[in-house]
């Protein structure tokens, strides 16, 4: 799978661990950094890069990591067609894909441990949208919200 990954200074160095894990599992990684935890930067920049990589079909899914995961998810969800899930547990990790067809996983490096983060990543990456009618109906309503937005 082609996976775009971006993290601000608050998400570093968890992004390095996630990249190592996914690379070892054979995924194609599109790495937007950061690789410098000591220089403050801005999570919306990473959300834009990861989101656009999906919009431009350079990546199938994305992973965004900031301190809490909140800022990254807020920013990513501003992009058309991006459904970003902030997850702190494995159930949400797979259900966000199975039911909500989320295409970006957001993690908070300052609030979850490395092992849990990696389990959530595995759950998210392995899960697939079930395509059930009730989930499609709900996703269509989200598309309508996007279309009608003022």
Residues that bind ligand RB5 (CB under 6 A): 8, 10, 43, 66-68, 70-71
Tokens of 45: 């920049």
Which is closer to ligand RB5, CB of 14 or CB of 54?
14
Catalytic residue (choose from 27, 99, 102, 106): 99
Answer for the pair 2, 54: CB distance below 8 angstroms, yes or no.
Answer: no
Nearest distance, CB of residue 5 and ligand RB5, angstroms: 15
Shortest distance, position 20 Cβ to ligand RB5, whole Å: 21
Q: How far is the CB of 4 from ligand RB5 (least distance, A)?
A: 18
* DSSP state at residue 27: P
- Residue closer to ligand RB5, measured from CB, 86 or 94: 86
Q: State how far the Cα of 74 lies from the Cα of 72, in Å rounded to an integer.
A: 6
9 is catalytic: no
Is 87 among the residues known to form the active site? no
- Of 66, 87, 102, 106, the active-site residue reads 66
Nearest to 23 by CA among 34, 15, 12: 15
What is the layout of strands, in order, in the sheet containing 2-7? Answer: 28-31, 2-7, 61-66, 104-108, 84-86
The catalytic residues are 66, 99
């Amino acid at each position: 799978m082609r996976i775009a990954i971006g993290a601000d200074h608050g998400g570093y160095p968890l992004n390095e661990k996630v990249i190592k894990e996914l690379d070892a599992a054979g995924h194609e990684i599109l790495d937007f950094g950061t690789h410098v935890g000591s220089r403050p930067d801005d999570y919306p920049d990473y959300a834009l890069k990861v989101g656009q990589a999906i919009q431009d079909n350079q990546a199938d899914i994305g992973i965004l990591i900031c301190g809490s995961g909140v800022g990254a998810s807020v920013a990513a969800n501003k992009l058309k067609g991006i459904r970003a899930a902030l997850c702190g547990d494995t159930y949400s990790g797979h259900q966000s894909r199975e039911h909500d067809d989320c295409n970006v996983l957001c993690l908070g490096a300052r609030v979850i441990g490395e092992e849990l983060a990696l389990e959530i990543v595995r759950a998210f990456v392995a899960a697939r949208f079930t395509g059930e009618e009730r989930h499609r109906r709900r996703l269509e309503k989200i598309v309508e919200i996007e279309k009608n937005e003022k």
